[in-house]
Structure 1
Amino acid sequence: MSLKVGDQAPDFEAKNQKDETVKLSDFRGKKVVLYFYPKDNTSGCTAQACNLRDNYSNLQKAGYEVIGVSKDGVKSHQKFAEKQELPFTLIADEDTNINQAYGVWKEKSMYGKKYMGTARTTFLIDEDGKIEDIIEKVKTKEHTAQILK
């Protein structure tokens, strides 16, 4: 099942980098940037996270909370968030249930080898939990501009 604009965003419950349980429904009444990325501390994912960090105040002024999701664990997220001074929540989706619910867990290919991984995708979710936009062609160094367009 693939999600589209206007659909209700699937709720989830998972641990963040502070080992706290977070639910998407906790953010009702706020707009959410829910971004899926492949791996902590890789060049593209770091560029994307730092772009969001550097523009975090602009995103907040526009009413957004930012939540990053990858299949890395809590400890990996802790190190990534500390190293890059990330002010927003990172969700550990080690079993890929959230990736799968959002349809971003896909077959990928590198050097002719096929494997399953996260397709870098961002969902903009409104105050009522409905998807208002889906960004599939994420520009890691210009991501905030794509969100606030």
Structure 2
Amino acid sequence: MALQVGDKIPFFTAIDSNGNSFEVRDYIGQPMVIYFYPKDDTPGCTIQACTFRDQYEDFKTLGAEVIGISSDSLSSHKKFASRYKLPFILLSDTNKKIRTAFGVPNDFLGLLPGRATYVIDKNGIVQFVFDSTLAKIHITKALKVLKTF
């Protein structure tokens, strides 16, 4: 079942693009924007990542950390982050356990991994869910919600 506003996020661990272990529980206490995207280096995903990059300081000013998650490999994330100078965390979810725990739906008749953004408050509670194939809108919507905290 998909996470909804008011739900507590599931605790998970993953490997980030630098090869470090990431535990979401270490980020409880600050707001988070967790976004799931289909694939590194595809047009929509690159636009979305670069828009998060370009507005990353706005997220940091609001005390939030941005975390991007896809099923791409660690090496793919490393290249993607380096190529586009992405300052935020990218996590590899190759077995799709995190995607499944959040209940992110697939897009395009179930053929592609879905694109969804979750805004999480400092207590680990989902305050906003946005599921859309329109990549750039996720950033604007997430910032608007964070400003209400």
**Alpha-carbon distance in structure 2 between the residues aligned to 1:138 and 1:65:** 22
The answer for the alignment partner of 1:75 in structure 2 is: 75
In 1, Cα distance between the equivalents of 2:108 and 2:95? Answer: 18
Structure having the larger proportion of residues in strand: 1
Give the unaligned 5+ runs of structure 1: none
State the match for 1:88 in structure 2. Answer: 88
TM-score when normalising by structure 1: 0.91
- Listed as ranges, the matches of 1:42-53 within 5 Å are 42-53=42-53
* Alignment partners' CA distance in 1, 2:137 and 2:116: 14
Amino acid in structure 2 at the alignment position of 1:141: K
- 1:94-109 equivalent positions in 2, closer than 5 A: 94-106=94-106, 108-109=108-109
* Aligned counterpart, 1:148: 143
List runs of 5+ in structure 2 lacking aligned partners: 145-149
1:127 counterpart = 2:130: no
Distance 1:46 1:36 in 2: 13
Question: How many percent of aligned residue pairs carry the same amino acid?
Answer: 40
Distance (whole Å) between structure 2 residues aligned to residue 140 and residue 108 of structure 1: 15
For residues 51 and 16 of structure 2, what CA distance do their matches in structure 1 show?
A: 20
Moved over 6 A (4+): none
Give 1:138 deviation, angstroms. Answer: 5.5
Kept in 2, the 8 Å contact 1:59–1:144? The answer is: no
Deviation at 1:146, TM superposition (A): 1.3
- Aligned partner of residue 66 in structure 1, secondary structure: strand
CA distance in 2, matches of 1:148, 1:78: 26
Number of corresponding residues: 144
Instruction: Tell me which residue corresponds to 1:12.
Output: 12
Query: Which residue number corresponds to residue 36 of structure 1?
Result: 36
Any conservation in 2 of the 1:36–1:70 contact (CA below 8 Å)? yes
Normalising by structure 2, report the TM-score.
Answer: 0.91
